[in-house]
Structure 1
Amino acid sequence: MITTREGGVSAPPYDSFNLGGRVGDDPAAVAANQRRLAEGIGLPSDRLVWMEQIHGRTATVVDGPRPEAVEATDALVTAEPGLALVVLTADCVPALLADPEAGVVAAVHAGRVGARVGVLVSALKAMREAGARLDRVEALLGPAACGECYEVPREMQADVEEHLPGSACRTRRGTTGLDLRAGMWEQLAQAGIARIGVDPRCTIESPELFSHRRDGGRTGRLGSVIWIDPEGDE
């Protein structure tokens, strides 16, 4: 599931369903929103696992609740039923992955740097080591800054394209841009993932979503969540 900015208790500019605890919001409001998220998906709050996202490529396997956010990681993998993995974004790409037959799921945070250095590849490797088969994995690339809005310098575009082929594009203004979801789609397909879905919403263009770029850096974070229920369905 993927949240929007509606339905929480945070005050502007984090209004209202901000789930990020390191963006300047009132900690009590963030905690209340995180409890609402747990209630909304029918799990105890301590069954949600969070990440200390650092724009890297580390993938961490978790097999139980964590009292604090998992340190210095940008992908979580689990085969534990009833353990919800949460990725926070506000323009970066959230990727949710699952092998329903093996009961292995992953949540991935892929910004420009993380996507470039292969965080998605790391997550797939960790899933495979946990028992998943790539030909059974299903993927969803969530809301993110779209290529028509994500303008970058030419040198940066060329560098990312070299490491993440398919990501280079032109913006709506005709300038050099990046479409990270397009590059990640290509990367997933090359890895043998046949079932790839893309949420078409652009965080910059959609007012119901948080956007770091659009909102001048002071904004909340969306949550993209994946879990295996006790019956075996993700």
Structure 2
Amino acid sequence: MAPAPSETAAGVPHEGRPIARIRRVLTTRAGGRSAPPYASFNLGDHVGDDPAAVAANRRRLGEGIGLGPDRVAWMNQVHGTDVAVVESPGQETPTADALVTDRPRLALAVVVADCVPVLLADPHAGVVAAAHAGRRGAADGVLPRTLEAMTELGAEPARVEALLGPSVCGLCYEVPAAMRDEVEARLPGSASTTRVGTPGLDLRAGLRRQLIGLGLSRVDADGRCTFEDDQLFSHRRAQPTGRLAAVTWWEYARP
């Protein structure tokens, strides 16, 4: 099974304690049906891979996490800031860059190959979200909009936990100086210098700073760089290529 789990147990439910156990899964390239150059656990259905292979990979993911493929929600990502609320399995796939739900055992998936996948959860309210934060979406505010949608479902920023998944790091993400300065002005903390001394972006650093500024007290990161780690997909390293997935859902905590 390809996914490499990264889970957080939210705790035992009683007064003042979380009601939900938060689940998170991050996948790698290994263990799927896709042929090169998408080898092999590609979960992106928009990159030119054989649709049958992608469907098989998505089924394997759903079965591997114990929910079944019908209980994993996907989105058509467009590097924007739209947020969709998922209310039931089998809901039509939205065009959005973040998904939010308050329904138990309903997984939300984001796919990336250098952009930052962000998984958010309020275990007290039973609200989770998965967001796609690439350069444009991050600078345009996809995460503040995601938190607003979570708040409308009962979440409180001070209780929200965040995981920033694998992405291209600030030492590898080279951009023109004008682009770095523009993103830094809109997402402070994201400007970086690459290992060869050129202008760069560290979106994880900027997003972490933004989330803390929005009131989150727990912001963790998977520090792997997609460009450097050949077990992960990277659009900057090879084109065409597949997409890894970051998935989250919640279950009622056991008493």
**Alignment TM-score, normalising by the size of structure 2:** 0.89
Which whole-Å CA distance do the structure 1 matches of 2:97 and 2:182 have between them?
A: 21
- Match of 2:206, SS? helix
Identity rate, percent = 61
1:137-216 matched pairs, under 5 angstroms: 137-215=160-238
What CA distance in whole angstroms lies between the structure 1 residues aligned with 2:93 and 2:194? Answer: 35
The CA deviation at 1:132 is 0.2
Q: CA deviation at 1:62?
A: 1.2
Q: CA deviation at 1:69?
A: 2.1
Cα deviations by residue, 1:90-131 (Å, 9 ceiling, x for unpaired): 000000000001000000000000000000010011011110
For 2:59 and 2:50, the matched residues in 1 are separated by 14
Structure 1 residue aligned with 2:100:
77
Alpha-carbon RMSD across the aligned residues, in angstroms, is 1.0
Q: How far off is 1:232 after superposition?
A: 4.3
Tell me what 1:226 maps to: 248
- TM-score norm. by structure 1 comes to 0.96
Give 5+ residue unaligned stretches, structure 1.
none
Whole-angstrom distance in 2 between the partners of 1:11 and 1:35: 17
Deviation at 1:45, TM superposition (A): 1.1
In the alignment, is residue 102 of structure 1 matched against residue 134 of structure 2?
no
**Partner residue in 1 for 2:113:** 90
Q: Which amino acid aligns with 2:246?
A: S
Aligned to 1:32: 56
| Counterpart residue number, 1:66 | 90
Q: Secondary structure at the match of 2:100?
A: strand
Instruction: Give the C-alpha shift of residue 44 in structure 1.
Output: 1.9
Counterpart pick for 2:73 among 49, 52, 55: 49
Name the amino acid aligned to 1:133: E
**SS of the counterpart of 2:26?**
coil
Cα distance in 1 for residues equivalent to 2:45 and 2:81: 21
**How many residues of Structure 1 are paired with residues of Structure 2 in the alignment?**
230
Please state how far the C-alpha of 1:66 moved relative to its aligned partner: 3.2
Counterparts in 2 of 1:126 and 1:232: CA distance versus 1, 3 Å: farther
Aligned counterpart, 2:44: 20
CA displacement, residues 198-223 of structure 1 (integer Å, 9 cap, x when unaligned): 100000000100000001x2000001
Task: Please list every run of 5 or more consecutive structure 2 residues that lacks an aligned counterpart in the other structure.
Answer: 1-24
Whole-angstrom CA distance in 1 between matches of 2:227 and 2:235 = 8
Asked if the contact 1:49/1:70 (under 8 Å) is kept, the reply is no
* Structure 1 segments of 4+ aligned residues over 4 angstroms from their partners: none
Q: Displacement, 1:170?
A: 0.4
- Classify the secondary structure of the residue corresponding to 2:59: helix
